[in-house]
Structure 1
Amino acid sequence: MEGRSLLSSSFGAAAAAYAEHRPDYAQAAVRWALEPAPGPRVLDLGAGTGKLSATLVALGAEVIAVEPDPAMLTELRRALPAVRALSGSAEAIPLPDASVDVVLAGNALHWFDMAVAGPEIARVLAAGGILAGLWNVMDDRIDWVAELERVAGGAAIGRRDTLGSWRAATKDMLVPGTGLVATFGSTEQVEFPHGQRRTADSLVATLATRAGMLVMPDREREAVLGRIRAFLGSRPETARGEFTLPMLTGVLRATTWPKSSR
């Protein structure tokens, strides 16, 4: 828990870079997450700088954003001044009971303490409400992406930042008796094609916003980023100009148990 807390609280120091360099979410993935919702009220929980909120706004949802980090919340409010953005956490959501139809978490669900956050999320959801986690992951079925993961190392890339690691991590999240399974009913997961236009420099800047990178000692971080930069400069796919970073948006969607059965 202490290690997870350190990682999850690391983003505020790089809030502006996070806002600039992190990818948005595949619209098809967000639509699928919203598909069975009983209404339009959506809570973006652990909203960060508003990457997911922006997609939700574009799709016409009624969005409330909740984010615990003050620096990330500042970036969100700057980018999306029309969105109601509140300070709060998954474990203490500043909303009334049954006040939203959907709770979405973009690259955030794995940071929640689901033993506490699961019942809290269920509390704010209306009957038949939906919880969905979305993750933007690099497609490591592509050879050069898999090699990039090896060069960068697990701490730099992150446990849920490539397709293979996301599949393994979400499998862990669905173990019977865990907070997600215990609190919610049926679960489904789907992956949607996505991509981000990058240059070698901007991909290095993107990877520098990963939690594992942010908590590294400066000398170690610079060494890892140097290896990544050298690798990207050596590959024909990435050495010259812009390229598309092959990605997917993975979605894990759960439906609440009927209120009477909890």
Structure 2
Amino acid sequence: MTASSRALSFNSAPAQYEASRPSYPPALFDVVEEFLSRSLAGVRVADVGAGTGILTRLLRERGADVIAVEPGDAMAVEFRRVLPAVPVVRGDGNALPLADSSHDLITYAQSWQWTDTSRSVPEALRVLRPGGALAIWWNTTAFDVPWIHAQHERIAHHCGVPARSAVRPDDNDAVRLSGLSGLQVTRRQIRWQREVSLDTHLANISSRSAFLVLGQAACRAFLAEERSRLRGDFPAEVVEEIYVVDLLVAARP
């Protein structure tokens, strides 16, 4: 299974993605504003790999002027349904459909890993204005929480992928970004949590690309077993999901 196939697998479940995926905490945007030394109000942002607009909404709530870039057909349709007033253009980070020096901030939430960094870094630098910033981040697994760590191991085994013992990005991601861009990279981690129904939790984990490429039939039994297992930990069927947002930010001179 190629990275491209996994990246486009989200088109098979855009409504599920929109309804179940976690958002991002206010503290994350406080850090981005601190890095920019200005409020996001009026900042021109390109949200790349925007998906259904989870991040786009939050940026707009901060007053940012946002354009979305999304490669997936079905994801773009769902984006337009959710945020009909926000422009979304088709493309990806390897060839941004944006003018030179046109944006103050380029964001990648959960989507940087689908790019070829030898292409996406120069593209970001081309599109950023002087003094602008590239910000990439992931909601990562809180491995210090026993039930979350155990679930991560079960998911990896079911999907046939390696169980990562470290959060993303790892130290090599920062080194690689710095080496390709020649810029100093700042890294911050922000812990946060949300409470969701058991149904939403299961829909969230099964909206990941490793599940989507397997198809619903292959995952049905796993999700049924997971539901039964989690009822023991969360008898009220309200799950406390805990995340660590791992953020990398680099500024263009």
Give the secondary structure class of the aligned counterpart of 2:185: strand
- Which of residues 234, 237, 241 in structure 2 aligns to 1:241? 237
Q: Is residue 195–residue 247 contact of structure 1 (8 Å, CA) maintained in 2? A: yes
For the pair 1:142 / 2:108, whether they are aligned, the reply is no
For the pair 1:3 / 2:2, whether they are aligned, the reply is yes
For the pair 1:251 / 2:247, whether they are aligned, the reply is yes
Residues 2-35 of structure 1 show CA distances to partners (whole Å, capped at 9, x for unaligned) of: 6211111110111110011001111211231243
Q: Distance in 2 between matches of 1:183 and 1:4?
A: 23
Q: Is residue 187–residue 252 contact of structure 1 (8 Å, CA) maintained in 2? A: yes
Q: Is residue 142–residue 148 contact of structure 2 (8 Å, CA) maintained in 1? A: yes
Residue 219 (structure 1) shift = 4.2
Question: TM-score by structure 1 length?
Answer: 0.87
Look up the match of 1:225: 223
CA distance 1:250–1:216, shift in 2 (3 Å): same
Q: Is residue 132–residue 253 contact of structure 1 (8 Å, CA) maintained in 2? A: yes
Contiguous gaps of at least 5 residues in structure 2: none
What pairs with 1:72-221 in structure 2 (closer than 5 Å)?
A: 72-153=75-156, 156=159, 164-167=165-168, 169-175=169-175, 178=176, 181-221=179-219
CA distance 1:26–1:154, shift in 2 (3 Å): farther
Q: Distance in 2 between matches of 1:192 and 1:146?
A: 18
Q: Distance in 2 between matches of 1:111 and 1:91?
A: 9
Residue range with higher mean Cα deviation, 138-147 or 106-115: 138-147
Runs of 4 or more off by more than 6 Å in structure 1? 157-160
Q: Which amino acid aligns with 2:17?
A: Y
Look up the match of 1:17: 16
CA distance 1:196–1:158, shift in 2 (3 Å): farther
Aligned positions, number: 249
Identity of aligned residues (%): 30
Residue 180 (structure 1) shift = 5.2
Residue 157 (structure 1) shift = 10
Residues 158-217 of structure 1 show CA distances to partners (whole Å, capped at 9, x for unaligned) of: 879x8x5324x4323134xx3553124011111112222212222111111000000115
Residues 73-126 of structure 1 show CA distances to partners (whole Å, capped at 9, x for unaligned) of: 111111112222111111111111000011001100111111111111111000
Residue range with higher mean Cα deviation, 118-127 or 83-92: 83-92
Q: Which amino acid aligns with 1:151?
A: R
> What CA RMSD, in Å, does the superposition of the two structures yield over aligned residues?
2.3
Residues 139-162 of structure 1 show CA distances to partners (whole Å, capped at 9, x for unaligned) of: 2211111121122225659879x8
